[in-house]
Amino acid sequence: MSAHLDDVSEMEIMDDTISPKRRNVQGKWIMSRQKNMIVNLYKELKLKNPNMPYKELMNSISQTLGVGYNSVCNIISEYKTTGTVKSPNKKRCKKSMFDKIDDLDRNALRQKIHGFWMKKELPTIDKILVAVNSDPALPNFKRTTMYEMIKKLDFVFTKRKRCSVLTEREDLLVWRQNYLYDIRKYREEGRTVYFLDETWVNAGDCVDKLRVDKSIRSKHDAFNRGLTTGATNPTGKGQRLIVLHIGSHKGFLEGGLLCFVSKKNSADYHDEMNGDNFHNWFESIIPRLDPNSVIVLDNAPYHSVRTERIPTSSSKKEFILSWLRSKGVVIDRPMFKPQLLAKVKEIKGKYVSYVVDNMAKDAGHTVLRLPPYHCELNPIELAWAMVKKNVKQNNTTFKIDDVRVLLNTAIERVTSENWKNFIEHVKTEENKLTEVDKNMDEIIDSLEPCILTITGETSDSSDV
């Protein structure tokens, strides 16, 4: 009897020392075995208490098993819908090499290809691969990766003789040639050309290389000499400032800076901006510009918000029909969706317009868009490089407020003389691209088209 009482007392002591329930770690995967336990408990409670309210039932399961309330609701909903539960798909989308490199590297790849045309030499994958991998400023690529990169940069292969000639997509060539013609025409007219762009500055940005006194043997030795071992670099990038500005040969436009702290942990700083934010900033900038000026910008989505929605292949048939009728198109017989989209394609060119372009036009200005992947044609990129270098060299606290002060100071140090030099450099790049297009045009025109034999007849490949 005494031994039994001792066992009971030990159990009571153990009960008093039981640790609290462990809850499932937030964000941790809930596998199918755990889900089945939740479903079984749901069935048990439902069987014992059929009149228990749904929320109370879900809350009871959540408290008993230590799983979040919303997770329990989702799992029970999944079971009711499918009749079973399964483990989540833990496979994550792997980023391609194209997504890992930045716009500057993409532009450098394009310039490598252009370099062959400058030398009047036909570029091939093998030649490009050697040129890129021998450049220490660029990452090394495998041949298959390089091929994919070139395709994503909108280069295409045109069949000529026994080999394929690597050229750029025809519409991009036209875009670039029109841009170069327009920018030169506007300069000859004496119009002020403004260039705008966004960038970012991290609170943890600092120079990678510092001068080191090799005579110092240790931190204690440095302390005794009254020296310092230098500021400790942060382990992460910290907070980020998103920066938007505009400038011309006169320098950065006074009052044109937009700077705010990033709220997203995204690798792409473009995620922070949207059409509304950009349009509000742009509206405040327009009165500060010289009369009849030109505004050069890239093709970020928030720069190209359309004034009206135009049907695409993903649009509903009813919307396509109503849009066509609103434009005066008569649909006098039943049509399938592809037929309607063909009609949209015929007339949509008349109705494609952008909010930014209309805002500028109403104020007497002109918007000019850079061709894709041609950041070397925007002198503000050189200004940003100068600003960031200044911030990195003087960043010692790695605090976002201090970095903002450094950023404002660095922007003020970019003079109109600096901007004139940047623009002159861009003009040199424009001349190079004109030479590339000229050489490409002459060489491809001199090559005989590929001759294919089909059903015993000889035909030009362009007609096949």
Superfamily of domain 193-304+357-433: Ribonuclease H-like superfamily/Ribonuclease H (3.30.420.10)
pLDDT attached to residue 90: 64
For domain 25-88, the CATH architecture is Orthogonal Bundle (1.10)
pLDDT attached to residue 264: 67
pLDDT attached to residue 105: 86
Q: What are phi and psi for residue 229, nearest 5 degrees?
A: -85, 5
Task: Find out whether 186 and 193 touch, Cβ atoms under 8 Å.
Answer: yes
Task: Find out whether 155 and 372 touch, Cβ atoms under 8 Å.
Answer: no
Task: Find out whether 110 and 153 touch, Cβ atoms under 8 Å.
Answer: yes
Give the tokens for residue 326: 């609103």
Task: Find out whether 239 and 261 touch, Cβ atoms under 8 Å.
Answer: yes
pLDDT attached to residue 18: 60
Residue count of the chain: 464
pLDDT attached to residue 162: 62
pLDDT attached to residue 46: 87
| 3-state per-residue secondary structure call for 235-289 | CCCCCEEEEEEEEECCEECCCCCEEEECCCCCCCHHHHCCHHHHHHHHHHHHHHC
pLDDT attached to residue 218: 53
State the DSSP code for 50. T
pLDDT attached to residue 97: 80
Question: Checking DSSP bridges between strand 193-202 and strand 240-248, what pairing results, if any?
Answer: antiparallel
Cα 366 to chain centroid, rounded: 26
pLDDT tens for residues 43-77?
989 888 888 888 888 988 888 888 888 889 989 98
The terminus-to-terminus CA distance of the chain in angstroms comes to: 102
Low-confidence stretches of the chain (pLDDT beneath 50):
5, 8, 11, 14, 210, 219-220, 230-231, 235-236, 450-464
Q: In 249-407, at which residue ranges do the beta strands (DSSP E only) sit?
A: 251-252, 258-261, 294-297, 366-369
pLDDT attached to residue 268: 54
pLDDT attached to residue 209: 54
Q: What are phi and psi for residue 186, nearest 5 degrees?
A: -65, -35
The span from the CA of 317 to the CA of 313, in Å, is: 9
Give the tokens for residue 456: 């015993």
Q: Which are the contacts of 163, defined by CB distance < 8 A and separation ≥ 6?
A: 122, 124
* Cα–Cα nearest to 71, from 102, 110, 39, 103: 39
pLDDT attached to residue 16: 53
